[in-house]
Homo-oligomer: A and B are copies of this chain.
């Protein structure tokens, strides 16, 4: 009954095997190896366009470096106040961009509201020498409350970004989970909707440290190798990140693991809808379920061996308000979640305190 986080899971057998297969032989360092080249081409194939792809090891690095490529002096980055870049990366975006102001915006379902974004782009226009000037919009797909940005909304935000001449970044830490839910193509969810740069996360979905910064216009990545190098995020034995991606992509493995995780979450969500002692907080678009329980109930569940965290985010999306003593809890499924974890959780929930 471990629903603590998808980054508590290890790696899938296929990715593990791929890593092991890459162990031997000598290969050029710093991304000059054959595997890196080959996986790079895979990205272009998956996204149906020429991409410039840079590997790195952590999601915070991927996000912060992607944003740094769009930074200018006095730059302002528009993001949701509960987004990972604002709330959970310990100041890495601010530090690695040399002091961008991350402007925390409100918005239901932890999504940016296009009208609000348009207003902020106008406020922080290119000649705002008091407050600074917008340099990028950053969205998260899935969001931090587990919801998926609709392709339409991604496009509208993309149009705003284009009109204002600012960068458009997608934090895709749970890209695959959103993709299989929406049923669109990777291209439709990104560059066709105006996204300039994607943090393509594979770590949470079955790898151990595989993050790719994907530029859809290679010209915008011109100096990116330096951004990565100057911050220590270029790996000497880079082939091992490539190896993870190789296993991740082979035979659509990544879509399978995402579908599995989403299925587990869906069955948890459904169960919560029928549960006596809990209810879903809001819709579930991927592999994260948010449940309303009393604090006493949550404590009892933890005592019974369930693992999950209280989640103080996204309350504006609650289907019904919290009653006294209630709180919102996050339950995350991953490739490693089994049906029996879900069943046991739901069963325990119905047991009396």
A interface residues with partner B (beta carbon < 8 Å): 2, 4-5, 7-13, 16, 19-20, 22-30, 56-65, 68, 72-76, 87-92, 94-102, 104, 129-133, 203-204, 208-209, 223, 225-227, 229-237, 239-240, 336
Which partner residue on chain B sits nearest A57 by CB separation? B57
Shortest beta-carbon contacts, A-B, top 5: A61-B232, A94-B99, A90-B229, A73-B226, A95-B99
Interchain nearest-CB distance for A67 vs B (Å): 11
Summarize A's interface: helix, strand, loop or mixed: loop
Instruction: Tell me the number of copies of this protein.
Output: 4
Q: How far is the CB of A202 from chain B (nearest CB, A)?
A: 11
Chain B positions within 8 Å of A131 at CB level = 87-88, 90
Q: Which B residues are in CB contact (< 8 Å) with A24?
A: 10, 336
Q: A87 — which chain B residues lie within 8 A by C-beta?
A: 130-131
Q: Which B residues are CB-close (under 8 A) to A132? A: 90-91, 226, 230
CB within 8 A of A92: which of B16, B63, B232? B232
CB distance B100 to A75 under 8 Å? Answer: no
CB-contact partner of A90 in B57, B61, B68, B226, under 8 A:
B226
Q: A61-B232, A131-B87, A233-B61 are in contact. Are A223 and B73 (CB under 8 A)?
A: yes
- Extra pairs beyond A12-B23, A59-B236, A132-B226 (11, CB < 8 Å): A4-B26, A5-B29, A60-B229, A74-B230, A76-B91, A91-B229, A92-B232, A94-B230, A95-B99, A209-B236, A209-B240
Please, which residues of chain B bring their CB within 8 A of the CB of A58? 57, 232-236
Task: State the CA gap A233–B133 with chains docked (Å).
Answer: 18
CB pair A237–B209 under 8 Å, yes or no, is yes
Q: How far is the CB of A120 from chain B (nearest CB, A)?
A: 12
B74 and A90 within 8 A (CB): yes
- Could you pull out 25 A-B pairs where Cβ atoms are within 8 angstroms? A2-B26, A5-B29, A7-B236, A8-B29, A10-B22, A10-B26, A10-B27, A16-B19, A25-B336, A58-B236, A60-B229, A63-B232, A74-B226, A88-B131, A89-B130, A89-B229, A90-B226, A90-B234, A91-B229, A96-B231, A99-B100, A132-B226, A208-B237, A209-B235, A231-B232
